[in-house]
A and B are shown apart, each in its own frame.
Chain A
């Protein structure tokens, strides 16, 4: 169901008449500069988004800005973080739109979405729990343990989102290559246009795959 939608999104949506006509997704991917600009903006937005949330989390952990009230730091920095996140989401969606099937069958992308969800859930938990009594620990150089744990989870989640996002560019586990069975399963390679090639099965018959 999802895959069929993505096939339509990649190959059909916006496609005009004629043999050489391209869908909007293909036009974006094949554009001379637009794809590069979107990709570059996605990466550069990290400086704003991750660069600012890093210091909010580090303050919550008690590692820096210990003399600055958390409320002041949040009020001044988080709007920039949200703005940067908006850029990341818009450019990220455009990058996904350019190669939806590639990302759908990519283990790093799937893992990235999980940690992205974890980071967002963590924000909700922070607001429901730690944020409620913030006036009590707002000025403390080191906030309470629960707050520090939530900040550490936030840091770790965003760190993993960045790492997994970079690994998506590498073809180590592309469908159609001899890869571990479980990776084929996780990526649903069987339904991909390249199919699933089991590394262990290839080794058993003495082949190396393509």
Chain B
């Protein structure tokens, strides 16, 4: 079954079909490109703030500064990025509503967007503001946000033609783990990544013919699962390592990881709306 808003809420179709003719969509439509640019610029601002603030929580990036100092310097910019993403997203979405209504990637994007807002405002920012102290409330919001994010990833994995977009999330996860892994283990992790990626290229380009989709699809899925296992296994080993932090520090680190990846998931799903 295809997971789309069209499948879940079929009675809304007539309303969705007319969305591009109501205010402000009919004003937006002729300037669609400009609003798309605003959407991308908001993504840049949001991406930059999420990367810097959450890498700090994870113990990398601007480590000379306290997390609260990063929070102080970035919070207004992050608000601007989130508001820009949501406002420009609603406007370009209205002008393009019917396509989004039948898109599984759009469902992924919306769930990931909600997860991103929950993780950012409920967990990541309060923890940064408190210099890494994880309150009970932040812990609860993290659980809600993480569940939503995992839900979005699950839907992404089922999205026919859009699911290759999950490789963006895996790539981002691999880069974060590579950055945060301690020197000795970093080489092993990188070597494992290279072996898996080369293995996938060789198998899907030489062993299985390029037009044999019935074999290519499961092969790619197996490789995606192996990559995910390798990346998140290494992340777990790094987070749970006894030599690093206390439990609260570990949780802050985990929230840092998740709060970057959730935005990558939303952005990747957004891009794959155009492809599938």
> Does A67 interact with chain B (Cβ within 8 Å)?
yes
Could you say which of A44, A50, A55, A68 has the most chain B C-beta atoms within 10 Å of its C-beta? A44
Which of A37, A52, A67 is B167 in contact with, Cβ under 8 Å?
A: A37
> Does A191 interact with chain B (Cβ within 8 Å)?
no
Residue of B at shortest CB range from A64?
B73
Tell whether A48 pairs with B47 under 8 Å between CB atoms, given A68-B65, A72-B64: yes
Tell whether A36 pairs with B61 under 8 Å between CB atoms, given A48-B51, A166-B33: no
10 CB contacts below 8 A, A to B, read A32-B213, A37-B165, A44-B271, A52-B52, A55-B52, A64-B74, A68-B65, A76-B63, A77-B52, A166-B33
Tell me whether B272 and A40 are in contact (CB under 8 A). yes
Instruction: Provide the residues of chain B in CB contact with A58, threshold 8 Å.
Output: 77
B contacts, CB < 8 Å to A:
33, 36-37, 40-41, 43-52, 61-65, 69, 73-74, 77, 164-165, 167-168, 171-172, 213, 263-264, 267-268, 271-272, 275
Tell whether A72 pairs with B271 under 8 Å between CB atoms, given A37-B164, A40-B168, A55-B52: no
Q: How far is the CB of A39 from chain B (nearest CB, A)?
A: 7
Residue of A at shortest CB range from B52?
A55
> Does A182 interact with chain B (Cβ within 8 Å)?
no
Tell me whether B37 and A51 are in contact (CB under 8 A). no
Tell whether A73 pairs with B48 under 8 Å between CB atoms, given A37-B167, A40-B165, A44-B271: no
> Does A123 interact with chain B (Cβ within 8 Å)?
no
Which of B44, B263, B268 is A46 in contact with, Cβ under 8 Å?
A: B44
Q: How far is the CB of B176 from chain A (nearest CB, A)?
A: 11
Chain A residues 136 to 177 lying within 8 A of chain B, measured CB to CB, are 159, 162-163, 166-167, 170
Q: How many residues of A contact B (CB 8 A)?
A: 34
Tell me whether B168 and A44 are in contact (CB under 8 A). yes
Residue of B at shortest CB range from A167?
B33
> How would residues 40 to 54 of chain A score, 1 for a CB under 8 Å from any chain B CB and 0 otherwise?
110110111011101
With A32-B213, A47-B50 given, name 12 new contacts (CB 8 A): A36-B275, A39-B275, A44-B168, A44-B268, A47-B263, A50-B47, A51-B46, A54-B44, A65-B73, A68-B64, A77-B62, A163-B37
Q: How far is the CB of A2 from chain B (nearest CB, A)?
A: 28
Q: How far is the CB of B29 from chain A (nearest CB, A)?
A: 13
Tell me whether A44 and B65 are in contact (CB under 8 A). no
> Does A210 interact with chain B (Cβ within 8 Å)?
no
Cα distance A80–B180 in the bound complex, in angstroms: 13
Instruction: Provide the residues of chain B in CB contact with A67, threshold 8 Å.
Output: 69, 73
Q: How far is the CB of A152 from chain B (nearest CB, A)?
A: 16
Instruction: Provide the residues of chain A in CB contact with B63, threshold 8 Å.
Output: 76
Q: How far is the CB of A49 from chain B (nearest CB, A)?
A: 9
> Does A33 interact with chain B (Cβ within 8 Å)?
yes
Tell me whether B62 and A72 are in contact (CB under 8 A). yes
Q: How far is the CB of A182 from chain B (nearest CB, A)?
A: 21
Instruction: Provide the residues of chain B in CB contact with A41, threshold 8 Å.
Output: 168, 171
Q: How far is the CB of A87 from chain B (nearest CB, A)?
A: 9
> How would residues 2 to 33 of chain A score, 1 for a CB under 8 Å from any chain B CB and 0 otherwise?
00000000000000000000000000000011
Tell whether A47 pairs with B44 under 8 Å between CB atoms, given A68-B73, A80-B51, A170-B33: yes
Tell me whether A166 and B37 are in contact (CB under 8 A). yes
Cα distance A44–B260 in the bound complex, in angstroms: 12
